[in-house]
Amino acid sequence: MCIDQIQHKVTVDNQEISLTSREFDILHILAVNRGVVLSSETIFRKVWKEEYYQSNNTVMVHISRIRDKIEKHMNGQKLIQTVWGVGYKIEK
């Protein structure tokens, strides 16, 4: 997978993956912090720059959409891992 921050695009095996700007921002934050678990609250505050509410499922829904779009091109590999009760990460 290649994330091009300047052109704001993601490719997997030379195939461009269409992401919304928020999906791209979430993926970029996780990639920059590889191996580090980021909470939904941290991701939300960095991407939306708003106050986070515990009942907010926004990040979970966006992570699910990112997985649907990217992981089908990764031969069964999981890109974003859920650390239950803590948050999300991309492994090193």
User: Going by C-beta distance under 8 Å and a sequence separation of 6 or more, which residues neighbour residue 3?
Assistant: 10, 24, 27, 28, 31
3-state class (DSSP) for residue 72: helix
Which pLDDT score is estimated for 54? 76
CATH classification number, 2-90, choose in 3.40.50.300, 3.10.129.10, 3.40.47.10, 1.10.10.10:
1.10.10.10
Mean pLDDT, to the nearest integer, of 56-66? Answer: 94
- For 22-47, what is each residue's pLDDT tens digit? 999 999 999 999 999 999 999 999 99
> Distance from first CA to last CA of the chain, Å, rounded?
13
Question: Are 53 and 67 contacting, i.e. CB atoms less than 8 angstroms apart?
Answer: no
Strand order in the sheet with 9-12: 2-4, 9-12, 15-17
Confidence of residue 53 (pLDDT cuts 50, 70, 90): confident
